[in-house]
Amino acid sequence: MEDIKKILVVSRMTRNCRVAVHQGISLARKYGAKLCVIHVVHNPFGRQGWSLPTISLEEEYQKILKDAKAELDRIIHQEQGTGLPITELIKEGDPTQEILKTVREEDIDLMIMLAHEEGRIEHLVFGRSNEDLIRKMPCSILLVKK
């Protein structure tokens, strides 16, 4: 673990992601590592082929994102205020592809993410990308249980 210089926390901007962010903060402090938190914005409602009314689902999705983003911003800004440098990255697109691309571009040594999907709406929005990430990840991974 002494070789960890850069840590990436995958945040899906949901309430439970704060657990992964806290793990990242703790490890970054312990090892003097640079910490990045990535949010990948993926709007499943923009896909073609939806034949069901999605207005209420999309509104619920936007509310979840807004509330979770506000809480994560508070956590990150609080830690930045104590001197821990945290880079917040916001990407748009397919979560798996954007996270893999970021790991390579930022030369990440350790990725931290939740070990499971969170709920039905999160599953609808984010899919089951954990399996793809784990198989394709070129660095070590820490899976955090909520």
Is 27 a domain residue?
Answer: yes
Is 116 a domain residue?
Answer: yes
Tokens standing for 102?
């970021």
Query: Mean pLDDT: which of 43-47, 124-128, 137-141 is highest?
Result: 137-141
The mean per-residue pLDDT over the stretch 50-66 comes to: 65
Residue 97 has pLDDT above 60, yes or no: yes
Is 63 a domain residue?
Answer: yes
State the pLDDT at residue 115: 82
| Residue 88 contacts residue 39 (beta carbons within 8 Å) | yes
Give me the chain's average pLDDT, please: 79
Residue (of 92, 89, 100, 91) closest to 135 by Cα position: 100
State the pLDDT at residue 139: 94
Tokens standing for 113?
């993410």
SS3 label, residue 71: helix
CATH of the domain at 18: 3.40.50.620
Number of domains in the chain: 1
Query: Within its chain, how far is the Cα of 54 from the centroid?
Result: 24
Q: Model confidence at 2, in pLDDT bands (50, 70, 90)? A: low
| Residue 23 contacts residue 110 (beta carbons within 8 Å) | no
| Domain around 22 | 6-44+54-144
Is 127 a domain residue?
Answer: yes
SS3 label, residue 50: coil
| Residue 132 contacts residue 96 (beta carbons within 8 Å) | yes
State the pLDDT at residue 7: 97
Is 1 a domain residue?
Answer: no
Is 49 a domain residue?
Answer: no
Tokens standing for 139?
């660095």
Query: Mean pLDDT: which of 21-35, 51-65, 105-119 is highest?
Result: 21-35
